[in-house]
A and B are shown apart, each in its own frame.
Chain A
């Protein structure tokens, strides 16, 4: 499975629907999908590392490199951070979805002018 361990927290269906409307070809659609994917991955990793004590960064990155898909990474993070990082990340990504949707919808009004 082409999978990152936090994928189940990301459900940007409305963003996907807007991208489908904007793309004329499958290639355009996939290009935008990849950009959003990249934004999500950078934001998620940044959020996790902000919470994780600096002395654990290298160990976490090593684990992430070896098994980027493994749900065990959340167990590791919960142990080291001492907070429900899964829930916090879900909220953070929810905010990101809202932000991206806002950007896309503002584009819609710019298109009309």
Chain B
């Protein structure tokens, strides 16, 4: 059907919302929420102010407390009653050796699932340094990837959380869904990733950049406690940083590259995965699930992106997905 030059209104995306209008409306709601709290409970803001905290920055305050706790290995959490003491890394290695016997186990994936269920809390929550060290040992010995919760002094606010499905990212100006097969269903994100286009034009898109978009992960860099003070350094450090993502329910593991920031804290999710990642981690209907996410320690850039095929055996009850 021809497009008439005068009908410019046809170019308007019917679902598109004006940013300034939505910002204005949300700002008004924010003002009302603040005013409401201040009116009903004026002592709250006074109290928080006396402690040097702005409720607007409560998330930053929480991140500081938690990262300080993780670094000293003494998270300020009251341990649940009746919990068994955590095994040390040496004990973990011993159990792996015992479980494996002399040879490589037939189903390392099953072993991973069992070990993770013994170590991880039922619901995603901050892990202690000891728990993270144990996981590092397990991943290195069973999955064969050297991955760390803390790399070059950097760490995410969480290493155990929910991953949610993301859309494809536009790799260069003019990129369309037709180039993102075979996973068309998720569609293309309306905006660009946190680091913009992967390449300035289609002919500048290298196979390596294509792989990065295919296996891209999303992490909450915006909530890092020092994001606002070290933005330039952290932006570079996190750009395309490799991470190991392990589905704690199925044991499926994938090496991904960070290419966007999010999700928002109020979505109940902590990480995001490209359509390809989600398909591999949990299959076509997998939209959200608990995972562990560590940085890959790969100074020589030898670890390829994509599924970690550490288990050729398909456990029928866990339906290992092959892409």
Footprint of B on A, CB under 8 Å? 1-4, 7-8, 10-13, 15-16, 18-26, 28-43, 45-46, 49-50, 57-58, 61, 65-72, 99-100, 103-104, 106-108, 110-112
Contacts and interface: CB of A to CB of B under 8 A. Distances in A.
Interface of B: 12, 14-19, 21-23, 25-27, 29-30, 33-34, 36-37, 40-41, 43-44, 47-48, 51, 53, 55-56, 58-63, 65-66, 76-78, 123, 125-126, 157-158, 161, 164, 189-194, 220, 222-225, 260-268, 270
Given A11-B266, A26-B261, 10 more contacts: A2-B66, A3-B66, A4-B265, A11-B268, A20-B190, A43-B37, A46-B33, A49-B44, A72-B78, A104-B22
A73 to B, nearest CB: 11
B26 A2 contact: no
Nearest to B62: A68
Contact of B41 (A29, A46, A72): A46
Nearest to A42: B33
B22 A39 contact: no
A25 B161 CA distance: 26
Nearest to A5: B62
Nearest to A6: B266
A87 B20 CA distance: 35
29 contacts: A1-B62, A2-B158, A2-B223, A8-B123, A11-B267, A21-B17, A21-B190, A23-B19, A24-B19, A26-B192, A32-B22, A32-B23, A33-B265, A35-B27, A35-B29, A37-B266, A39-B26, A40-B266, A41-B56, A42-B36, A45-B44, A46-B33, A67-B76, A103-B25, A104-B17, A107-B25, A108-B15, A111-B17, A112-B14
A85 to B, nearest CB: 16
B184 to A, nearest CB: 18
B126 A35 contact: no
A1 B270 contact: yes
Contacts of B34: 38, 42
Nearest to B162: A8
B44 A110 contact: no
Contacts of B36: 42-43, 46
A23 to B, nearest CB: 5
Contact of B40 (A2, A31, A50, A99): A50
B191 A3 contact: no
Given A25-B191, A38-B56, A103-B26, A2 B63 contact: yes
Nearest to B41: A49
B17 A2 contact: no
Contacts of B123: 8
Contacts of B65: 66-69
Contact of A2 (B22, B25, B265): B265
A21 B14 CA distance: 11
A65 B51 contact: yes
A27 to B, nearest CB: 9
B53 A2 contact: no
Counting chain B CB atoms within 10 Å of each CB, the highest count among A3, A13, A33, A50 belongs to A3
A24 B22 contact: no
Contacts of B37: 42-43, 45-46, 49
B17 A36 contact: no
A40 to B, nearest CB: 5
Nearest to B9: A112
Nearest to B25: A103
Contacts of A8: 123, 268
A105 to B, nearest CB: 8
Contacts of B66: 1-3, 69
A18 B186 CA distance: 15
Contacts of B14: 112
